[in-house]
A and B are shown apart, each in its own frame.
Chain A
């Protein structure tokens, strides 16, 4: 049973990552290779708040989201003036810089040794989130809130403006829309919610190290939403479930672990290629990456 719960918690974490990343990739047409960096910032701030400051749950969560939002605002401010592919390269640069800092600033992050012993947070200083049941409840609530918030956003005038911008920036300008502001807002909002995933991960696993937040992870998040599909909520959710479940299915059918690890990467790659060829909007998305 614990095994199933563990999988469910990981699915919740990836739902939060993919649903919030979808706001950028599927709604605002901003492909970001830096999502794992924000995930990592959220996780490290969480570790610091729980170990160093001994904060309760909500302040820790808000601090993680806030610090991540500040980083994303700075990155957005610098890079959104860049067009298309240059924006992607800027997010790639950011991802590499954050990983390098996490890896090498040993005094603060303990570098490759990681941070062990992250305690469970207390809700209002009373209820301790404990054990796997505690985390299944916490992660389900947080991923439900994320889904709710992004559902609201997609169906709001702001969501409509993002879709408009995705379709046609010139037309948006001619209708009086400040597209730079729209992009910065989407970027900051998306990153702040990615930090929630970092919060759950750090306090649930109780140990973090930089390798969980490297470029591979950033690409993995993108893979999830490209497979599931973007532009709506369904797509990213299905993508998150798919990428988390696939390795477990491979194990279930009796594939030895070392083979399964490689097999899984091959299957992700093949799925992507086949989808892009026959179903570019992903399994359940509504937006095709073609112009």
Chain B
């Protein structure tokens, strides 16, 4: 209990879709995407979630971040002594209590500048009220300045003194390359005060140099900001080098859980996900 930050208790989720038969009848069919998922996420650790495409990993993230309802089960978030029932909290409030998320597709704001993408990521909405927005207001100014300073410090801490983000801060974010957009998506998580961060395939579709960079950033999330990380990944060397714990989801069920070595060496996981290789080193570099 003490060391757990997120309790996922017996969470199930089904979707239904309509099937049109040849004779024109339409019938609804339910299919189960998550089946009684139990997971206690350890505070301060990096937990990797692995499993085939369509296994239900992103759906699990959507449930934790409130974008989808569960059919059954309970979710509790216990950052520091307090206990929140996640099923009873509006999705937008989650960021304010410390749950952050990076999406599988970037979800940065293309028509905001690079800097604005950082400023807007402050989870404290101070100054975002319409009716004060056209008055001069000293505190608002001060907070905006402070946000900008914080953003520049984050860029410097993550990418060094002369980095492309500070140089391009006035450009629309859509002008960044795909890989840079990913980095921006990670950098903006440092603008909030997050305790638990959900990362959905952060390395999908980026080159090896950036993969290393992303691993560094995630390490900094844990070491410098004491964030707990839940990580969906298909890149096994990345998982091995970074994660503390690993969970294997197959067709909506958690089939294996434990240390990374245990899970990746598990014959069942190899057979159903990694492929029957004998060396586990260069096992996979799967794309989304």
A and B interact:
yes
- Collect the chain B residues with CB atoms within 8 Å of residue A152's CB: 133-134
Proximity string of chain B (123-154) to chain A, C-beta cutoff 8 Å, 1 when within and 0 when not: 10111111101100000100010000000000
- Collect the chain A residues with CB atoms within 8 Å of residue B120's CB: 157, 160-161, 164, 175, 177
Proximity string of chain A (251-291) to chain B, C-beta cutoff 8 Å, 1 when within and 0 when not: 00000000000000000000000000000000000110000
Contact between A167 and B128, CB atoms less than 8 A apart: no
Contact between B93 and A176, CB atoms less than 8 A apart: yes
User: Which secondary structure dominates where chain B touches chain A?
Assistant: loop
Residue among A158, A168, A174 making CB contact with B100, cutoff 8 Å: A174
- Knowing A170-B67, A177-B92, say if A153 contacts B121 (CB, 8 Å): no
Contact between B134 and A161, CB atoms less than 8 A apart: no
Interface size class of A (residues with CB under 8 A): 20 to 34
Contact between A171 and B130, CB atoms less than 8 A apart: no
In whole angstroms, what is the CA distance A166 to B116 when docked? 14
Contact between B112 and A176, CB atoms less than 8 A apart: no
Contact between A158 and B130, CB atoms less than 8 A apart: yes
User: Which secondary structure dominates where chain A touches chain B?
Assistant: helix
CB neighbors of B among A129-185 (8 A): 148-150, 152-153, 156-161, 163-164, 166-168, 170-179, 182, 185
Interface centre among A168, A176, A185 (most CB of B within 10 A): A176
The closest CB in chain B to the CB of A286 belongs to B111
How far is the CB of A231 from the nearest CB of chain B, in Å? 8
Contact between B67 and A158, CB atoms less than 8 A apart: no
- Knowing A170-B67, A171-B109, say if A186 contacts B192 (CB, 8 Å): no
Decide if A189 is an interface residue (CB 8 Å cutoff): yes
Contact between B119 and A185, CB atoms less than 8 A apart: no
Interface size class of B (residues with CB under 8 A): 35 or more
Proximity string of chain B (74-103) to chain A, C-beta cutoff 8 Å, 1 when within and 0 when not: 000000000000000011111110001101
The closest CB in chain A to the CB of B95 belongs to A176
- Knowing A171-B103, A173-B91, A176-B123, say if A160 contacts B111 (CB, 8 Å): no
- Collect the chain A residues with CB atoms within 8 Å of residue B125's CB: 161, 176-178
Decide if B65 is an interface residue (CB 8 Å cutoff): yes
- Collect the chain B residues with CB atoms within 8 Å of residue A172's CB: 92
Decide if B107 is an interface residue (CB 8 Å cutoff): yes
In whole angstroms, what is the CA distance A173 to B112 when docked? 16
In whole angstroms, what is the CA distance A148 to B130 when docked? 15
Decide if B267 is an interface residue (CB 8 Å cutoff): no
In whole angstroms, what is the CA distance A160 to B113 when docked? 10
Residue among A158, A168, A287 making CB contact with B109, cutoff 8 Å: A168
Contact between A171 and B123, CB atoms less than 8 A apart: no
- Knowing A153-B133, A157-B140, A185-B131, say if A176 contacts B192 (CB, 8 Å): yes
- Collect the chain B residues with CB atoms within 8 Å of residue A168's CB: 107-109
- Collect the chain B residues with CB atoms within 8 Å of residue A156's CB: 127, 133-134
Contact between B127 and A157, CB atoms less than 8 A apart: yes
In whole angstroms, what is the CA distance A185 to B130 when docked? 6
Contact between B95 and A174, CB atoms less than 8 A apart: yes
In whole angstroms, what is the CA distance A173 to B93 when docked? 8
The 3 A-B residue pairs with the shortest CB-CB distance, nearest first, are A176-B95, A185-B130, A156-B133
19 A-B pairs in the complex with CB atoms less than 8 angstroms apart:
A153-B134, A156-B127, A158-B128, A158-B133, A160-B119, A161-B125, A163-B116, A171-B108, A171-B109, A172-B92, A173-B91, A174-B91, A176-B94, A176-B123, A178-B90, A182-B128, A185-B129, A188-B130, A189-B130
| Chain A residues packing against B (C-beta within 8 Å) | 148-150, 152-153, 156-161, 163-164, 166-168, 170-179, 182, 185-186, 188-189, 286-287
